[in-house]
C-alpha cells in the first residue's frame, strides 16, 4: 500500500477507496485509512489520500489541519 501512495504525484490526491482498489482490495477503504493513520514514514505522502466526499480525513502526523496545510502547499484546493 505504501508504494501505491508513493506514486501519487505532488499536487494530486487519491481517495482511500482508490488506494484500496489499486492494491486489489476494493472493500478495504477503512483498513487503508487506519493503516495510513499509523504511518510515521515521511517518505509515504499519506496527506495526499482523502475521503471520497472530498474532505481531508485524518492525518497521523499532525492532524487534519496539518494535512490540509500540506495539501495547500502543493496547490491542492479542498
pLDDT by 10s per residue, the chain, length 78: 999 999 999 999 999 999 999 999 999 999 999 999 999 999 999 999 999 999 999 999 999 999 999 999 999 998
Would you say residue 17 lies in a domain? yes
Is residue 43 domain-resident? yes
> Does residue 8 lie within any of the structural domains?
yes
For residue 78, tell me if it sits in a domain: no
Q: Does some domain include residue 24?
A: yes
Total of domains in the chain? 1
Q: Which of the residues are catalytic?
A: 46
Q: Which domain holds residue 63?
A: 2-73
3-state secondary structure of 71: helix
Q: What is the pTM of this model?
A: 0.94
The CATH number linked to 64 is 1.10.10.10
Question: Taking phi first (over 0 means left), then psi (-120 to 50 degrees means alpha), and beta for anything else, what does residue 10 get?
Answer: beta
Amino acid at each position: 500500500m505504501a508504494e501505491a501512495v508513493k506514486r501519487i504525484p505532488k499536487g494530486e490526491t487519491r481517495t482511500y477507496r482508490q488506494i484500496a482498489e489499486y492494491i486489489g482490495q476494493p472493500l478495504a477503504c477503512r483498513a487503508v485509512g487506519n493503516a495510513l493513520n499509523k504511518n510515521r514514514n515521511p517518505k509515504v505522502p499519506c496527506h495526499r489520500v482523502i475521503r471520497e466526499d472530498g474532505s481531508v480525513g485524518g492525518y497521523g502526523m499532525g492532524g487534519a489541519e496539518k494535512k490540509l496545510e500540506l495539501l495547500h502547499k502543493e496547490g491542492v484546493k479542498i
